[in-house]
Structure 1
């Protein structure tokens, strides 16, 4: 069966645990990624004789497996990798990690066991059978590891990786599309591990010529491996060197120019000019400060663009408003019309820094006629992810849509005229809050309402989106009090139920569900046709864009919130499902698989279904079709019977507990059956036998007989429930073998995907309603107590205190 991406990632991260003890993340990433590379190219060479990499005898992953347990395993690994490197001109690229380093990996038996375990983990992964060429399994795994290594490497080592979500924004905003020609060029002067360049290439349908430069030798090696893992041949150029002091893409004293450029340079680099000799005409609009290199990189990129070139650069917010030399450069660039747009990003997105950054969009092609700068404040669109923030799918799509269409959205985006930027009060300062106020409107307390009651109509008017969606609801909930103020027609505690029972809300929810059904039905045939040629990224792009389009006219519901529900489910479940169907086909992917025990005789994963008991129990995992879907479609009555028996078991157990609690007390009828404050059927039976023999209190005998009867009922019901559940599990397992391909499609498409997405959309609609309820309850409670009432209560309390003091003789 196909390996799910989530399983692959888990295995890879498990391999990191084998190395963690001796080194930090910045070091062990080299070992893990080297093994990943060797394993992948070895498997691809077996499956494809024309693969990009030549795997020579003695230079394959199989040779590493053969070295398991050898006392010289580290040295053998180094030689194997060296042979592979020499055969493919990859010296100083894939052979940087020393597998014989005793300081990092240990000595003797320690290094022998550690590397043997490590290679065993990788040997369990098989990339030969992956027919899903439209899905980048290894590339995504590489990115997954990059993200984790960057997270763990800390402040000094996290700069080799640009978060994938940010990379996707840059790749789309720079202007590259499916129609971009293959002979067009994209350049990243600080390319790190190459992830940003690869994201740009993903936006094209025919590919694009890639050029990059990276200063750090180890990171440059990562980028070379990354390119090969993504299927890019040697003509995609990644060179070493300091971009500012030693640019590699030159012709004499002239910089090579490109159609597009993307970059995430190091923020505010103080040593940018160390060793700088040739300027290559880069600083014609001003020389950056000696102790801050942000504009050095920006100007380098600008100079590296063709006359129609476009670029996106990530820089700290300070470049937008800092003064002196940077202010002069900024003013000249604006006057030249080179700055097309600015996108403010959330804080704490990047590894190595928590400061907020922005995207500067440069465009030479239309610079002369440019009359404004399009600005977006996207600083509030993110989700917390551990100790970092992360852009959600909806945040990415919204930024790209709004920027591409130049859409004005209140408190989010607008086109700012150059005349406004040049106004003396702004003086070419580009700080986004000067032009876009993204703060939430202040919640003003109304003194008049506190004095005389009523809810201010202006607060109700602010909920206009709800009244647009539910036109009659406002009149149902509120009635006029006096000009400018209204009262609730019901008690504040009844607001939520009133809204949920409202025909308009029910109609709103139903229409949202119907819209979701229409959307799914429109794509059902496409989903039915998923096979080895499917491209998952293209598939979800079509589904997501159409969902956005359909929900855009719907009042109140934010189409991007609905889109996020789809994308979250895609990343959590659907993508793995699609990947399995692509690799194995519908029928094979739906088959249960037995769970094997790990080396410690423990379950490697949680079973979905257990058949049998004790040591003979067999545990199964159903990756594509969970047992609940089979049961819901084919065994509804049997499941209902199990539920009834489980309920009966709970009732029987409760009857035992209540009876024991009533009588197993000191002096109670069951007190003599207690042993260390415990009682059970064995103790009760023993006491009953003794009581009968002794001829003691008949009430005690009756109580013991009743308790034993309750125990027997409980045991019988438990046994029946267990047998019914076992029979249901067995029937469910058998049904998997009887499924046809159409059955599998129905279960996955309708019972799993469609049903889940509809439930998520319904939850989104309900969440909006709960927000309305919360606000109405807040407003209703705020002005319920009038100032006069509070004043009267205060006087009453003062009078009581005075009386108490007088009673105590205090004047």
Structure 2
């Protein structure tokens, strides 16, 4: 990371911290609205700077704006006709702002009364102006705009103006323009910092779990390759969360060479995914971001009602979840869920293995030439019964699975479950399956009270190169045929295929006799001590007598 990027990274993190400080000061820390306030103000700042950056590069009006001391002050002088004309020249993915929407214009009115109302109205106006480009939809086809009123979350109306001024003061401190060419490499780290306090197990029933960036990179590099020349690719995640897997995939393919499709039940995750797409120059895929239950209402379908098929499908689904409310509905769909659906346990409903439904949905969503990868609990790869076994048998018998990597423990902060990543190729063209035990890789670190482990760059390279070359490395990896897997009881655990090594050490007859004598001496001493203890115990037992007076109160 060069000095300029390092500086802007520090400034961006300082911006986020400043916004968090404001929400904390007004009693909104850790509230359900805090993430919305921070991400929307962050995005408003991004929109402002992105619009200014693109407007200054416009062939017609760019020179006028870039030569001015302050582009936004010059933009205030534009007529309505000039504004509309500028809009028509800008690329479709650029957010549009009218002169009264710019941060400088709004900030200059912060001393006037009722400023909170003005801020909210500006954000809503920007959202409406950009609704066709930046809104997302629910599975019921309702439109969710990108901005909403923010100051309403402060319950005391008398404090809202000061709250609004404080938010505006935070975002007025620096400019994003110098890193717009950085895209994924810059914004992925910023995004991770931006959401880290709002993406955890405290999210309720559908808690979001942030996929570690290293795992996302491994999945993307192995699915796509490091130098693939692909175009027009479609990428899908049925449990998209905040989009880490999709961003890594798009970055590996090339943001201009793929289209993103997603669905997630969480409103919060869908909002954050939208932000992630915008920051990573993938605004064109925003119409394909859907909030809703993928299992009961899969949104992405063909005209005939069949599931849409994609070139790449990735997923880090919830592992265990009580879905008894709609379990029977899923079970009735025997085409999509060909291996069945887990039953509702008699007592512990929360342990229903919902990930098994996502594995089947993922495979059903792949083109005949498509590739996919999914994060699953490691226990699945040696399953012996139930739906788990049926899924495992099917993906091996059909030669769909072509690799499995068992990851280190504690790579996820909020769950102690050991995870593995399965790789699928619907073309079934692999002759061998590469199994990797990466459980010993990575470095330990602490985040709050949680002990975590992360893969380093060298670890990622080792995994990727070993997988791609299908190398057999002692106690790390093995490449096995499908018949060998069946002979091992359909196990995808690398450790079960490793050779057991017995090390022999040459010694002389004199050394052998000496060691044997020492063993005999040690054993004789231990036997003697054992006999002594036996005799002592027997003596203690002989000394015990029944007390006839016990219980006699006279």
The residue that corresponds to 1:673 in the other structure is: none
Q: For residues 16 and 510 of structure 2, what CA distance do their matches in structure 1 show? A: 64
Does the residue aligned with 1:41 lie in a helix, a strand or coil? helix
Q: How does 1:364-379 map to 2 (within 5 A)?
A: 364-367=426-429, 370-379=430-439
The 1:120–1:280 alpha-carbon spacing in structure 2 relative to 1, beyond 3 Å, is farther
* Equivalent in 301, 317, 323 of residue 265 of structure 1: 317
The residue that corresponds to 2:123 in the other structure is: 81
The 1:230–1:405 alpha-carbon spacing in structure 2 relative to 1, beyond 3 Å, is same
State whether structure 2 residue 478 is matched by structure 1 residue 414: yes
The 1:436–1:17 alpha-carbon spacing in structure 2 relative to 1, beyond 3 Å, is farther
The residue that corresponds to 2:62 in the other structure is: none
State whether structure 2 residue 286 is matched by structure 1 residue 233: no
The residue that corresponds to 2:82 in the other structure is: none
* Equivalent in 13, 36, 49 of residue 43 of structure 1: 49
Q: How does 1:794-805 map to 2 (within 5 A)?
A: none
Q: How does 1:255-654 map to 2 (within 5 A)?
A: 255-271=307-323, 273-274=326-327, 276=329, 279=333, 281-289=335-343, 291-322=352-383, 323-367=385-429, 370-385=430-445, 386=447, 387=450, 388-423=452-487, 426-436=488-498
- Deviation, structure 1 residue 483: 7.9
The 1:156–1:332 alpha-carbon spacing in structure 2 relative to 1, beyond 3 Å, is closer
- Deviation, structure 1 residue 220: 1.1
The residue that corresponds to 1:519 in the other structure is: none
Does the residue aligned with 2:372 lie in a helix, a strand or coil? strand
- Deviation, structure 1 residue 392: 1.6
Q: How does 1:85-234 map to 2 (within 5 A)?
A: 85-89=127-131, 90=135, 92-96=144-148, 98-103=150-155, 108-109=158-159, 111-130=160-179, 132-133=181-182, 136-150=185-199, 159-205=208-254, 206-234=256-284
- Deviation, structure 1 residue 351: 4.3
When normalised by structure 2's length, the TM-score is 0.72
The 1:483–1:97 alpha-carbon spacing in structure 2 relative to 1, beyond 3 Å, is farther
- Deviation, structure 1 residue 26: 5.4
Deviation string, structure 1 residues 747-785 (Cα, Å, up to 9, x no partner): xxxxxxxxxxxxxxxxxxxxxxxxxxxxxxxxxxxx9xx
When the two chains are superposed, the root-mean-square deviation of aligned CA atoms in Å is: 3.4
The 1:152–1:5 alpha-carbon spacing in structure 2 relative to 1, beyond 3 Å, is farther
Contact 1:215 1:241 in 2 (8 A): yes
Contact 1:150 1:351 in 2 (8 A): no
Q: For residues 321 and 13 of structure 1, what CA distance do their matches in structure 2 show? A: 45
Structure with greater proportional helix content: 1
Contact 2:472 2:478 in 1 (8 A): yes
Contact 1:342 1:360 in 2 (8 A): yes
Does the residue aligned with 1:125 lie in a helix, a strand or coil? coil
Does the residue aligned with 1:19 lie in a helix, a strand or coil? helix
The 1:346–1:154 alpha-carbon spacing in structure 2 relative to 1, beyond 3 Å, is farther
The residue that corresponds to 2:40 in the other structure is: 34
- Deviation, structure 1 residue 221: 1.9
When normalised by structure 1's length, the TM-score is 0.51
Give the stretch that moved more between structures: 373-382 or 20-29. 20-29
Q: For residues 248 and 307 of structure 1, what CA distance do their matches in structure 2 show? A: 20
Contact 1:343 1:376 in 2 (8 A): yes
Does the residue aligned with 1:140 lie in a helix, a strand or coil? helix
Deviation string, structure 1 residues 171-192 (Cα, Å, up to 9, x no partner): 1122354434221211111111
The residue that corresponds to 2:349 in the other structure is: none
The 1:436–1:33 alpha-carbon spacing in structure 2 relative to 1, beyond 3 Å, is farther
The 1:74–1:134 alpha-carbon spacing in structure 2 relative to 1, beyond 3 Å, is closer
Q: For residues 433 and 135 of structure 1, what CA distance do their matches in structure 2 show? A: 36
The 1:380–1:65 alpha-carbon spacing in structure 2 relative to 1, beyond 3 Å, is farther
State whether structure 2 residue 14 is matched by structure 1 residue 7: no
- Deviation, structure 1 residue 148: 4.3
The 1:87–1:434 alpha-carbon spacing in structure 2 relative to 1, beyond 3 Å, is same
Deviation string, structure 1 residues 501-559 (Cα, Å, up to 9, x no partner): xxxxxxxxxxxxxxxxxxxxxxxxxxxxxxxxxxxxxxxxxxxxxxxxxxxxxxxxxxx
The 1:123–1:14 alpha-carbon spacing in structure 2 relative to 1, beyond 3 Å, is same
The 1:123–1:138 alpha-carbon spacing in structure 2 relative to 1, beyond 3 Å, is farther
Q: For residues 131 and 74 of structure 1, what CA distance do their matches in structure 2 show? A: 30
Contact 1:314 1:360 in 2 (8 A): yes
Does the residue aligned with 1:100 lie in a helix, a strand or coil? helix
The 1:363–1:353 alpha-carbon spacing in structure 2 relative to 1, beyond 3 Å, is same
- Deviation, structure 1 residue 319: 1.9
Contact 1:287 1:325 in 2 (8 A): yes
Contact 1:182 1:209 in 2 (8 A): no
Contact 1:289 1:325 in 2 (8 A): no
Does the residue aligned with 2:199 lie in a helix, a strand or coil? helix
Deviation string, structure 1 residues 284-317 (Cα, Å, up to 9, x no partner): 3444445322221011110111111110001112
Q: For residues 115 and 333 of structure 2, what CA distance do their matches in structure 1 show? A: 50
Contact 2:123 2:148 in 1 (8 A): no
- Deviation, structure 1 residue 356: 1.0
The 1:244–1:384 alpha-carbon spacing in structure 2 relative to 1, beyond 3 Å, is same
> Structure 2: which 5+ residue stretches go unaligned?
56-89, 136-142, 345-351, 526-554
Q: For residues 301 and 486 of structure 2, what CA distance do their matches in structure 1 show? A: 36
- Deviation, structure 1 residue 63: 4.6
